[in-house]
A and B are shown apart, each in its own frame.
Chain A
Amino acid sequence: DGGITQSPKYLFRKEGQNVTLSCEQNLNHDAMYWYRQDPGQGLRLIYYSQIVNDFQKGDIAEGYSVSREKKESFPLTVTSAQKNPTAFYLCASSMAGTVNTEAFFGQGTRLTVV
């Protein structure tokens, strides 16, 4: 089955630690995205990538880093510089081209700082 797999589903981080969230897709999509969701708020874009080895900052990139070494993988690292990392993180992918198309989302990773 094609889709997006995020792992782990739940993640706990101690203050001062870096943690990496995994996102893998087998949809052969060129574009991938990371969004952050907080209670009562919409999804806010952290980083996005249109092609391998290239990515751009979204609206709230501070304290986060990404890499895109393979087409199917787009891991997100939440660094100790992110002051309020507790949130629900969503990875998405879509085809890239001249016409907008559906973005497919993973099931999310809930990160909690302990």
Chain B
Amino acid sequence: QQQVKQSPQSLIVQKGGISIINCAYENTAFDYFPWYQQFPGKGPALLIAIRPDVSEKKEGRFTISFNKSAKQFSLHIMDSQPGDSATYFCAASKGGFNKFYFGSGTKLNVKP
């Protein structure tokens, strides 16, 4: 049973466009929702994270929108650049221990 569902599986966006990746979860006990960025052959790196007490968090061109009632959260990449081309994973965890449940990943390709 997949705890976190992510879509789309792949995404192609023109340079300067907005990239949107969506995730949904079932377990209402989750209280930490990070997004990780992974380049080919590398380990994932934390991009941005949110807790359920806020509905939005913005860091530079990256924004997380969080809808607690719908149990959904999304990543928006504004002014997408070719250097943003990577695989993005959403994740969720609960309590004080970082046992993460990851989404299946979205491969983003930003065309120049």
Q: Which residues of A contact B (CB under 8 A)?
A: 4, 6, 31, 33, 35, 40-45, 48, 50, 58, 90, 92, 94, 96-108, 110
Which residues from chain B contact A41 at a C-beta distance below 8 Å?
Answer: 104-105
| Complex partner residue of A105 from B6, B45, B95, B99, CB under 8 angstroms | B45
> B66 at the A/B interface (Cβ < 8 Å)?
no
Complex Cα gap A98–B45 (Å): 22
Judge whether B46 and A102 touch: CB under 8 Å: yes
Known: A102-B46, A106-B43. A45 touches B103 (CB 8 A): no
Closest to B41 in A: A108
Judge whether B96 and A99 touch: CB under 8 Å: yes
Judge whether B43 and A108 touch: CB under 8 Å: yes
The 10 closest A-B pairs by CB, nearest first: A105-B43, A100-B32, A42-B102, A98-B96, A43-B102, A42-B104, A94-B98, A102-B46, A107-B43, A105-B44
Interface residues on B, range: 20 to 34
Known: A41-B104, A42-B104, A108-B41. A97 touches B46 (CB 8 A): no
Nearest CB in chain B: distance from A42 CB, A: 4
| Complex partner residue of B44 from A43, A100, A110, CB under 8 angstroms | A43
Q: Which residues of B contact A (CB under 8 A)?
A: 4, 6, 9, 31-32, 34, 36, 41-46, 49, 89, 93-100, 102-105
Judge whether A103 and B46 touch: CB under 8 Å: yes
Complex Cα gap A13–B99 (Å): 29
Which residues from chain A contact B99 at a C-beta distance below 8 Å?
Answer: 33, 45, 48, 58
- Residue of A4, A31, A43, A97 contacting most chain B CB atoms (<10 Å): A43
